[in-house]
Structure 1
Amino acid sequence: MKAMVGLAVRSWSVVIPLLAALVLAVSWGRDLGPAVVVLVSAALVGAVLSAVSHAEVVAHRVGEPFGSLILAVAVTIIEVGLIVTLMLSSGDKAASLARDTVFAAVMITCNGILGLSLLVAAARRRLAVFNAEGTGGALATVATLATLSLVLPTFTTSEPGPVFSASQLIFAATASLVLYGVFVMVQTVRHPGDFLPVEEGEHTEHEHDELPSNKQAFVSLSLLLVALIGVVGLAKLVSPSIESGIAAAGLPASAVGVVIALLVLLPETIAAVRAARRERVQISLNLALGSAMASIGLTIPAIALASIWIEGPLMLGLGATQMVLLALTVVVGALTVVPGRATLLQGCVHLVLFSAFVFLAVSP
């Protein structure tokens, strides 16, 4: 069977990223009517599905943990570009956009994606088994990055409000890059075994599949990048409609960051759930925590650099409600990770935390 190789040559997975890029190019900079918004939304969904398809081809070729790392980093780099673009074009109105989007990404990945993956895996085998050493290290890194970048600005006194001074922002950016770089080295060079699946029989599912050739993997990687650019670009196109809808519904402006993060993280969500259905829980956790880590570790340095051109305050500090949710997420995550296995209960707890985050985002 050559299912994974077939993904690289399916006509829909080749055509849709190119079609999404075409829709993006034609629609960019234009006022979108209702019919065009529907078309753009359809192209967005297609780009998400094709991105997952090509990510699986690349992951099958390079193996783990490189496969999940490539998808997480690719999505995050383009997400950072979207955040910086929106902040540069929106001025003071986007002062808290980076904070809202990054915090939403952490809650979506560490509760939504992680909880859904555990729930799906535990429903199939009663227990979701994973590597506690690697997953615990990833969670500790996420907690440290989130605290340094999103919690401390609320309590520092050099500048009024939940903002960093210039030197504090440089320190947070440098620390984020260093921590993320060290984690990637540990994951891929020093201790890659800590991030490989441990479930019995998990390694045999695709071991007889023919590996994609280098050419097929390169084509899929190129189309993956095109699809991800389409996802983020199309998300930006529909963001004015999202903002208008949120304002018309009387919801807080911070909900915009939540919706953007949900759209951008769709490829990783689908990929993680599919991995969990195949009893590859560790891959799901690599995607979830790796995305959270990359979202902070790459966004904060990029924002620090972009602050040279961004006028107005850069609000990074979380409010009290958000800090409570973050602290609860870290504590519950640690209790989930330590045993190296989880049941339906742990999956449901994380999903309830994710639901609480969404509810409080729209009804603070």
Structure 2
Amino acid sequence: MPTPSLLRTVLTPTAVFRLALGWGAFLATVLAAPVLSGPLTAPVLWTVLAGIVAVIVVCSFGVVGQAEHLARRLGDPYGTLVLTLSIVLIEVVLIAAVMLGPGEHATIARDSVMAVSMIILNLVVGTALLVGGLRHADLRPNRAGVSAYLALLVVLLAVAFAFPGLIGTGGAYRPGQAVALAALTVVLYGFFLVRQTGAQRADFQEVRPSTAAAAQQAREPGPEPGPAGTAARHRPEVVARTLLLVATVLPIVLLSHDMATLLDDGFARVGAPVALPGVVIAMIVFLPETVTTVRAALGGEIQRVSNLCHGALVSTVGLTVPAVLTIGLVTGQRVILAESPAHLVLLGTSLLLTAVTFGGRRVTALHGSAHLMVFVLYGLAVFS
């Protein structure tokens, strides 16, 4: 692809707008730093916070958009992996910004990852199965792939939320435990990636493309014969989109500190539940990928739904928990991960329901409604 044509393909007006918006917002916060550092009236605080959140969401959609283009070029599971890792990067940045900001945030990682778990396992999966099941009568997931995701989730979520309360002190791991479990979690996640992209790659691909999915695949250019192959042919585009993805992520990273400070101040003023900041971060992070997941369900790509949701959660827990434990060790902060009994019951119910849903021959809209009911229960638990 010639360079001018490549630039027109990658640097679309929408992509340029997102870049300008993100970097412009960051420049504005730098210029307004003396004002933002002082006490703000409630209307000004919420207006500035809403503006920063809106910019982060718009840029997040840009990151996901570039990751989706890369996903189509790279194919599954590589493409979906790029997408999920992009989302996890944004989440780690936002959580780290809150942890390193003013105030005490010992439970922000726990609340955020728990919220992500409930949003993914129940709200997003439930919505996708509901709309997908109403449109398609025969949605068959790749049970081997879902089983692999669930095996890791059972272990990783137990390490994240159950064992700190059993073997730690005050709901937090002791330093020696934190080092060992952070390292083991990274090793386990790394082994999973090696298997997912290697010997077990077929476990994470569609069992049988539906009519809509097959038509979409027929419209997209397939691999070309020859030694270079499709990857070599699209290498300039892959490099360009990767650079654009990084350039779109950077404003999110730079704006996250101001967002964390204002979020902490605003919720403290209204006496919001302790877990609410984590829920807000989770919703900001996973909103763009939710849209992608629902589109996949409408297209009948049920295994892609699992890859996007369950794969994202494996990446979230497998990378976020070691990251926050490391931040806690380096900064001397206490990282409380142990969850309440009510949330542990909800988490266990979600995992059991996921095993039942995706363990059958096909998934239906009825399964989706059950997942949505569990998410409603989680909402009641947060505000109880």
How far the C-alpha of 1:7 sits from its partner, in A, is 6.8
Contact 1:131 / 1:340 at 8 angstroms: preserved in 2?
A: no
For residue 331 of structure 2, give the secondary structure of its aligned residue in structure 1.
coil
Aligned counterpart, 1:97: 108
- Alpha-carbon distance between aligned partners in 2 of 1:232 and 1:115, rounded to the nearest angstrom: 30
- Alignment partner of 2:65 out of 45, 50, 53: 53
> 1:200 is aligned with what amino acid?
S
Q: Deviations over 1:119-175 (max 9, x none)?
A: 12112113432111101110221121000121111112xx53111112221222122
Structure 1: any 5+ residue segments left out of the alignment? Answer: none
Mapped partners of 2:164, 2:220: distance in 1: 50
Residue 189 (structure 2) pairs with residue 176 (structure 1): no
| 2:56 alignment partner in structure 1 | 44
Residue 379 of structure 2: aligned partner: 358
Cα deviations by residue, 1:241-282 (Å, 9 ceiling, x for unpaired):
444443444321211111111101122212211221222121
State the distance in 1 between where 2:84 and 2:15 align.
Answer: 20
- Bigger drift between 238-247 and 179-188 goes to 238-247
Give me the identity figure in percent: 28
Q: Give, in angstroms, the shift of residue 180 of structure 1.
A: 1.0
Q: Which amino acid aligns with 2:118?
A: M
Query: In structure 1, how many angstroms separate the alpha carbons of the residues matched to 2:11 and 2:220?
Result: 15
**Which of 8, 11, 19 in structure 1 is aligned with 2:10?**
8
Determine which structure has more spread, i.e. the larger CA radius of gyration: 2
The Cα of 1:240 is off from its aligned counterpart by 4.1
What residue number does 2:159 align with?
A: 148
Q: Distance in 1 between matches of 2:377 and 2:253?
A: 26
Contact 1:134 1:194 in 2 (8 A): yes
Match among 161, 172, 176 for residue 167 of structure 1: 176
* TM-superposed deviation, 1:97: 0.9
Amino acid at match of 1:188: T
1:84 and 2:93 aligned: no
**Residues 1:71 and 2:92 aligned together:** no
Query: In structure 2, do the counterparts of structure 1 residues 155 and 191 end up closer, same or farther at CA, with 3 Å as the change threshold?
Result: same
Tell me if structure 2 keeps the 8 A contact 1:109–1:292.
yes
Q: Is the 8 A contact 1:119 1:344 kept in 2?
A: yes
Contact 1:88-1:309 at 8 Å conserved across structures:
no
Task: Please report the TM-score for the alignment, with normalisation by the length of structure 2.
Answer: 0.85
Aligned length: 356
Superposition TM-score, scaled by structure 1 size? 0.89
Does the Cα contact within 8 Å between 2:102 and 2:261 map onto a contact in 1?
no
Shift of 1:327: 0.7
Q: How far apart are residue 358 of structure 1 and its match?
A: 2.4
Is contact 2:165–2:339 with CA below 8 Å preserved after alignment?
A: yes
Worse-superposed segment, 242-251 or 133-142: 242-251
* Map of 1:19 onto structure 2: 21
- Tell me which residue corresponds to 2:228: none
Change (3 A) 1:107 1:341: same
Q: Check whether the contact 1:78–1:228 (CA below 8 A) recurs between aligned residues.
A: yes
Pick aligned residue for 1:253 from 270, 274, 280:
274
Contact 1:231/1:264 (<8 A) preserved: no
